[in-house]
A and B are shown apart, each in its own frame.
Chain A
């Protein structure tokens, strides 16, 4: 044995915590720097973070402004309203599918996830085409046949926003809740029955308390989403000056406010909402963490007790069908119809003779849309690859590293879930407007960075779950076999996390493809994505072109979702 110079313990410990340190630094750069600069800029007179001087004047200005408080009130009504209706529909559907003898459950499950392929702003556009007071097809039809003075419905309202937002939230609510309904051990109910409890008592004392954590977690998540979304309130509210947080930020940042970007106001508003959103995120994390206290999954194989619907079966099927019609078929059909028309025309046989593929041909020939398609794909591939790889690394640190570094990484990776896309957009403008070395302002890369930050919380939630199930002895066996850190990662951890990374990859690329808010804020000089081009067509008064882009966007997202399904249903090679 040749004498080996023993390395110092200090150096080795440093080397061992190096991966955690690097990940921590990257996360801090992605998450903390934009947030920090947002806070700083709320305290400068001009609202630009690197300008001289400090002031609290922005806060005085904003809090004294009644418009600010009316925006807060609208945001609150919108968030609570859409959460309430999405939850009501989601709980109902989850119960019907998981706990009753509803026929045709497999196709119904597919039908209930399909609406996810439609970007929310397209759903809103579809509903504008149906329910706008001036051109909405349903409105026009009702007005003409009933001889009304005014259109009966107005989609450009808080109620309209809530209606469309609830429709678009139902699939995620259903997906979050149905495992909780499905995995409830029926013996828990049976035990109550044998203890002599009435049906009502079982519902109140067993069913509700057991499901409460899952429903509460879903509600908190929906509420948070309501506070930070842009798509639907932006599409339906901005034309009539009804603002929520996200749309207000966009409005103030683009020159619609009268030529100047009001960055000082944006930062101040953002700080106010960040506090609210972080509290919600904290609550959500606590709720999902404590949910394991109610372990309803016992690993035993069981069939949940199914309630008999009897004659109500048809009503239930009609309910499911109506939802699918409203959330997918009708708005999509309206979009398809519009995409075939040269200008806005309600569907009729007479109008059908004017139908042409012109708008669709334009989509494939116009350099603008082709560049946007390329941008969207490039951003999607880069961001999803980065998020997938980084999520595996983050989860490895969260799961394997005890102590402060693991907790800190976990916290930082979760934080962006509470940041609205428009806010990330503005923060990145601050960061890269003055960045001398990384001159990416106005390029696709700044959008890619925004998406990486936005989707890390979603990526890590998937990879966390998988890495937690990976027995640590699999890694230790590699280390005792003489493999260093990188070889353990490359040959053992990464191959075993690959199915999860793939799922994350496809999920992120599908979401990058349809994301609108950050891309809108960060657009400039040839980095437009498909949703941005669509939005510009729509806002610029070319709804038929917008509809054609929309149809192809849905097709693109739908195909990635199909791939996801196929990848997910393939049996993963399990770790023992």
Chain B
């Protein structure tokens, strides 16, 4: 549906040339919700803007629905307005001089739709975003969340082949953001429009995506479903960027039963995830919420002595900071319950099925 191959974007700045996108290839299936996730400056927005035709790539190929819209070799570079798409911007970009109706009707006007058709389609789009009764409002009288919905209605009204969303939730306050997140996902499922969503917020990415493309420094680090990327990341960057991660460097790793025993500064840690790495494993990763705390464990494997350095009660959970042997500290997050005081001596258990082997980064 959407194909990007070997996309490169270089440009000149006052401080010299910048490789904003080094080489990116990906494809999104029909109806897929695909998220570009990465820190700011990783090239995710640039890639999105290249798909929209708002920015000119240096080389590569982009096709939408089988139609090449950019191809540096064949000399194809279709103007933005000829590409069949809809886009929601970070600032919403609601035209202040038009009514809500005028904003949403604009893409149809540009496409030369009849007045009757425009009226029906705009009403349908506004109903979909829950603004059915707002058509005659001036766009400037709307709240942030409402402007966001107008922007969304405008992006979907002409039923473009691809829906592009550039950090559309980042200007909303936390509560509204969660609500809009769910509504947006729901709407996309109903429309079945191929969607590319750009965000630096891992929670949004996890909650909404069919697939997450993790990007850093102009390249794709890895891609996969939210569950895979969280539970079995293949790269240290992914493990650290999505969720919290405690990572232990290991020198050697040898098979042990169903898993692999990795030799770390703490001693051997047995891991059963990503065992395919075998001897290439250089790190072991575990999530703070997977680490278990107890006074003692029956099984001695993957158990370590620790001392509570700090504990923070945050309501639903308790966040601990503990010191292990050799000065290493780790975070542990447990469900609310009895609090262990600072200075308490405890044992930590790393369940092998929660321990993930990772390559060198």
Contact = CB atoms under 8 A, between A and B. Distances in A.
B93 A471 contact: yes
Contact of B96 (A9, A481, A574): A574
A574 B140 contact: yes
A8 interface: yes
A13 B77 contact: yes
A37 B85 CA distance: 51
B76 A9 contact: yes
Interface in A457-492: 471, 473-474, 476-484, 487, 491-492
Contacts of B53: 479
Contact of A480 (B90, B92, B96, B164): B164
Interface string B72-102: 1011111111110111011111111100000
Interface residues of A, number: 33
A7 B78 contact: yes
B75 A10 contact: yes
Contact of B67 (A4, A8, A471, A491): A4
- Select the residue from B65, B78, B81, B89 with max chain A CB neighbours within 10 A: B81
B54 A479 contact: yes
A125 B151 CA distance: 60
A496 B96 contact: yes
- At the interface, is chain A mostly helix, strand, loop or mixed? helix
A6 interface: yes
A483 B77 contact: no
Nearest to A471: B91
Contact of A6 (B72, B76, B87, B90): B76
B75 A8 contact: yes
A300 interface: no
Given A1-B67, A6-B74, A9-B76, A481 B86 contact: yes
Interface in A553-575: 573-575
Contacts of B85: 480
Contacts, number: 104
A16 interface: yes
A483 B81 contact: yes
A9 B58 CA distance: 12
B95 A479 contact: no
B interface, how many residues as a size bin?
A: 35 or more
A481 B75 CA distance: 24
B248 interface: no
A348 interface: no
B54 A476 contact: yes
A482 B113 CA distance: 12
Contact of B140 (A4, A8, A573): A573
A573 B96 contact: yes
Contacts of A15: 79
A495 interface: yes
B228 to A, nearest CB: 32
Interface in A77-126: none
Interface in A522-576: 573-576
Contacts of A478: 95, 106, 110
Interface string B19-53: 00000000000000000000000000000000011
Given A1-B66, A9-B77, A576-B96, A483 B110 contact: yes
B124 to A, nearest CB: 17
Given A1-B67, A6-B76, A16-B79, A481 B154 contact: yes
B91 A9 contact: no
B68 interface: yes
Contacts of B67: 1, 3-4
B94 A576 contact: yes
B107 interface: yes
B111 interface: yes
Given A1-B66, A482-B111, A12 B91 contact: no
A481 B107 CA distance: 5
Contacts of B81: 479-484, 487
B287 interface: no
A88 to B, nearest CB: 39
Nearest to B72: A9
Contact of B93 (A6, A474, A482, A483): A474
Contacts of B107: 481-482
A471 B155 CA distance: 18
Contacts of B154: 477, 481
Contacts of B79: 12, 15-16, 479, 484
A575 B92 CA distance: 11
Interface string B218-229: 000000000000
A1 B67 CA distance: 8
Contacts of A16: 79
A136 to B, nearest CB: 55
Interface string B142-170: 00000100010011001000001000000
A481 B81 CA distance: 7
Nearest to A481: B107
Contacts of B106: 478, 481, 483, 491
Contacts of B164: 480
Nearest to A496: B97
Contacts of A480: 52, 54, 80-81, 83, 85-87, 155, 164
Contacts of B76: 6-9
Contacts of A495: 97
A473 B91 contact: yes
Interface string A196-207: 000000000000
B140 A492 contact: no
Contacts of A3: 67
A573 B93 contact: no
A496 B83 CA distance: 25
Nearest to A482: B110
Nearest to A476: B54
A413 B82 CA distance: 33
Given A7-B76, A480-B52, 15 more contacts: A6-B68, A6-B76, A9-B77, A12-B79, A16-B79, A474-B93, A477-B93, A477-B95, A480-B155, A480-B164, A481-B81, A481-B110, A483-B81, A495-B97, A576-B92
10 contacts: A1-B67, A6-B68, A473-B93, A476-B89, A476-B93, A478-B110, A480-B86, A482-B110, A484-B79, A573-B140
> What 9 pairs across the A-B complex have the smallest Cβ distances?
A477-B93, A481-B107, A480-B87, A473-B93, A6-B76, A482-B110, A479-B80, A9-B77, A473-B89
Interface of A: 1, 3-4, 6-10, 12-13, 15-16, 471, 473-474, 476-484, 487, 491-492, 495-496, 573-576
Interface of B: 52-54, 65-68, 71-72, 74-83, 85-87, 89-97, 106-107, 110-111, 140, 147, 151, 154-155, 158, 164
